[in-house]
Structure 1
Amino acid sequence: MEYNATSLWVSRIVDWGRGYVDRPFLVAFLLMGWIPVVCSVVALDSSEASTAFLVGQALACLMVVPAPFDVWYYDERLLPQFFDDIELITATESHDALDRLAERYDTYYVKYWWVSTLVWVGLVLTVFVVGQGYFRGQGIDTLVERGAYLGFFCYWLLFAGLRSHGGLITVFVIRAFAEEVTLDVDPLHPDGLGGLSTVGTFAIRMTIITSLGSLALPLSFQIASHIAYEEVVYVGVALFVLLVALNFLYPTYKVNRRAQDLREKMLDNHRERIRKLEKRLALLTENEADLPDDGLAETNDELLELEIRRARREYEDYQNVQLYPLSIGIITRLVSSILLPVCFILFELFVTGSL
């Protein structure tokens, strides 16, 4: 099924550009990604701004340059692909529920992006207003320069909001999937995780996209150390860290709990089946002496023993399958996405202080 009925306005702009150049990243940059670069160049004077501020500004700018492509990628590739992939581990009777879930969250993503963005509007514009004294000290003092820097802040908060919106949709989608759809865990799936690597891959890819927000941490800390209401900056940093953690830890926990419940149910069914087969074999063995010597009793014994061995193998397969959606590749990408914010916090503490 096609799980992408509607598109976000950013995606529609990029798709329009792909009609001329079918390179999504290049199109996204040419249509929107250049805006923060130009705003920064107009607003800043390297002869007046400190090195620490210039480095922080460059990193914050780098954070949002690829953001239009990230938004397009999530809308047109990542979210639809997730629904396509999890259809393979969804019980047949739940396919209609999966279709409804996909339609619901596709609509939420497209129509309610502004809700997440409003949070960043309040935080970022407050920082811009209370930080005017600090920005003037960095040479941003003319009307044109302040206007350009306001343009950078507006662009930044817009795409920070859109990325946050994608992160929240990821959490809500996986929560709804775990609660509303019946899983069909396959203990023999090639991923060794019962097919749940689909969930882990989806979550970690969005976590990596979200973690790019760490590029703005050095500038955030620079501003926070020079304005009166630094708490506003730290609220934004805390929300970012929470979103990165939430993007991966909650989906992993939620799906694991649901899969554990399913496994316990399957193990109970297999235990009951094994007990019935063993009881039947015992009864057949007890009555064997009374049966005619036509060879059927021995055949039944052998068939029952084979069936019991097969049932025990299936029981062991379900018992041994790893239900955390974590492969080595997924864990490696998770560590990388977590290390990125840590590296920039350390950069702020030990490097920019000496610039």
Structure 2
Amino acid sequence: MGTQDPENATIDASKVTAVPLAKIYLHNCFLGGGFGRRGNQDDVRQAAAIAKQLGGRPVKVIWSREETTRHGYYRPMRVSRFRAALGTDGMPAAWTTRVVGMDEHYPGDEQVLRGLHKLPYFAPNQQFDYHLRKTHVPTGPWTSVGRSQNEFFLETFVDELAHVAGKDPYHYRRALLEANAEFPFAKGWIQVLDEVAEKSGWGEKLPAGTGRGIAIGDSRRLSRTEITICSVVATVSVSKKGEVRVERFDLVMDTGPFLVNPLAAERQVEMQVAMGLAAVLRQEITIEKGRVVQANFDTYPLLRPSEIPEIKVHFIRATDDPIAGMGEEAIGWVAPAVCNAIFAATGKRVRSLPLKDHDLSWT
């Protein structure tokens, strides 16, 4: 079988079957991706329980697509409220953040805070609070975990501040980073930000209904120091009827002093863009009468090959931190880059996902 957590899989199998741990061997099958879902052991426990009842006969358990969709562990729901007071120079004088979410798989601070602790953007007065709430819906990891939601909140909010201040979103972020002497990675962030602005042609005139959006972040955790910085520019066109087409992504990734396999790293990033874009455009899980509505790819559609935009990935060395990951370091910035581009194209803000739930028509 395939699992992201062989150690706990064998422990759970031992508990279910009452077979000593030393007598259990897991043959891990490296097939497909895990994306966090294969870190849960419910399928292991089910197979072990069935095998125990059959007295040692070989057992093969297959979940249908419908069972996988309706009996899984789901990306935690999360909602936030950001507020800021701007000075006469357009810079934040005060900043408050409140996040409310559910996260049973990672109890405590680790995921709900990712991307929001040690705020990279300067504000002399800051307040941050978060609240965890439990529901009947089982939750689990979704690639990049808590950071993907928090970065959507943060990077779209900063874009709104830039608009209110009458500043260019790229230059506004740069100014906020330059002003934040307490953020240890500001220099690397600025380098990555400058690079993606240049590679994407930021500032060039675009046709009506087409816009560019920018977002930046890194993979910091509360418990670890190594980081991978990523900046994304999305070029998006929106028809007057509100039909969204993402034309291009430009990404600049800081790899630190090591880039072991450039081709594999590029493929990792491209996959993240495709997965993140599908979630932005139309993927969602809804609950009715205590049951998941979606069942298969007709109700939870993947991105079609014809919908995948041009993706340009650039690697640079902006920091000298220890070697870090590349497996989920870009997916979190797809959503804010796309939504910021939609605003640039239409003047309409997107504050919730997916996009299919919004009227993006314009005149």
TM > 0.5 fold call: no
- When normalised by structure 2's length, the TM-score is 0.24
Structure 1-normalised TM-score? 0.24
Larger radius of gyration: 1
Is the helix fraction higher in 1 or 2?
Answer: 1
| Relative contact order, higher structure (CA 8 A, sep 6+) | 1
